[in-house]
Structure 1
Amino acid sequence: MNLQEVRKTAFKWRGGLWTALYLIILFLAKPTYESIIWGIIFVAAGQAIRFWAAGSIGLYRGVEVKASKLTTWGPYAFVRNPLYLGNGLIGLGWAIMAGGLSLWVFLVSFYIIYCLLIIPYEEGFLQSKFGNEYLSYKDRTGALIVKRWPKMEEIKGPFSREVLVKSERHSLRVTIVGSLLIISRLWW
């Protein structure tokens, strides 16, 4: 299996990989009241970014990479992968809540799964589909870290509450239940 096939498989199974990573964090969890408070801040920030991104991009879920247009407004004016940035902040929040070794396990795993596998796979598709338009966008925005502050006209664009609700209701439930399970580790 070559690297491109590994990346395609990681993309296809990204939900399962996320679940496995969460379960490891839950298993390792030794939360404190202080770690929970700090972690919830990151979880809330991550979910807020996911809401903004989901309402800006349109329907996006699936096991295949697809895009009918290149979304460059909303949070996509800041970073190319705001949904994954949101995931990263949620996972970081869970790891902070869990404490100890969980933080290192999360950081290394997230880097390998997202930065080395999933994001490059998606970017290859976007570059082949949108060509120079994507390369120009990639040049001015970071994958997960803001390269430059966009102009207001770059941020403005369509936003659909209907798509947000349809796309993110499952993710929101997972985020809430996942957070509550880690908090419950205070007592077991």
Structure 2
Amino acid sequence: MSTRQDRVLLPPPLIYLIFVALAWALAELLPLPLAENDWTRYFGWGLIDAGILLAAWSALALTQHDTTLNPYKKPKRLLQRGPFRYSRNPIYLGFTLIYAGIGLLLHSWWPWLLLPLLILVMNRAVIVHEEAVLERLFGDAYRRYRARVRRWL
């Protein structure tokens, strides 16, 4: 039976959506404007596109290797190929790029001010749980992978 610390509190996409909503609400209530120009729009959409591609590539790699995308389910294998060669959490990195792109499109400093808190929440509420599960399931193989590949980049 799992304990509270063994469970993800909220689904990761929901955590990102909550932070986008919070940034948007703060931008509306307490404006901290960021420059609005073609560069912020192009770069914002570029980050969104890059994030979608990275998350999709990562999800495809997981499904091709017959393991789960769902952080609530037990993974069947430790994936170390594709985007997982560069980041232990490429899907969350992709979500973060999407968040940053949305932040530029909101033309507000709020998403950037909230970004460290978002990373902290992801690390403590999601990633630490997933790392504990992977270490329990894959032991030394996961520890070697963790020593070789960084959590984010």
TM over 0.5: yes
Q: What is the correspondence of 1:72-151 to structure 2 with a 5 Å cutoff?
A: 72-145=80-153
- TM-score normalized with structure 2 length: 0.80
Secondary structure of 2:150's counterpart equals coil
- 2-structure distance, mates of 1:107, 1:5: 25
- Equivalent residue for 2:46, pick from 41, 49, 52: 41
Q: CA 1:96 to 1:6, structure 2 compared with 1: closer, same or farther past 3 Å? A: farther
- CA contact 1:7–1:117 (8 Å) conserved in 2: no
1:97 positional shift? 1.7
Q: Quick check: 85-94 or 97-106, which moved more? A: 97-106
Q: What residue in structure 2 maps to residue 52 of structure 1?
A: 57
Q: Residue in 2 aligned with 1:172? A: none
CA RMSD of aligned residues (A): 2.2
Q: Which amino acid aligns with 1:121?
A: H
Whichever residue aligns with residue 43 of structure 1, its letter is I
Q: 1:23 maps to what in 2?
A: 21
Q: Taking structure 1 as reference, are residues 108 and 47 closer, same or farther at Cα in structure 2, changes over 3 Å only?
A: same
Unaligned runs of 5+ in 1: 146-188
Q: Secondary structure at the residue paired with 1:131?
A: helix
Structure 1 residue 24: deviation in Å? 1.9
* Distance verdict in 2 for CA 1:91–1:130, change over 3 Å: same
TM-score w.r.t. structure 1 length?
0.66
Distance 1:73 1:61, change over 3 A: closer
Name the aligned partner's letter for residue 100 of structure 1.
S
Identity %: 21
Per-residue displacement from partner, 1:1-53 (whole Å, max 9, x unpaired)?
xxx7367243x443332221121233326672432222111111111111110
- Does the Cα contact within 8 Å between 1:37 and 1:97 map onto a contact in 2? no
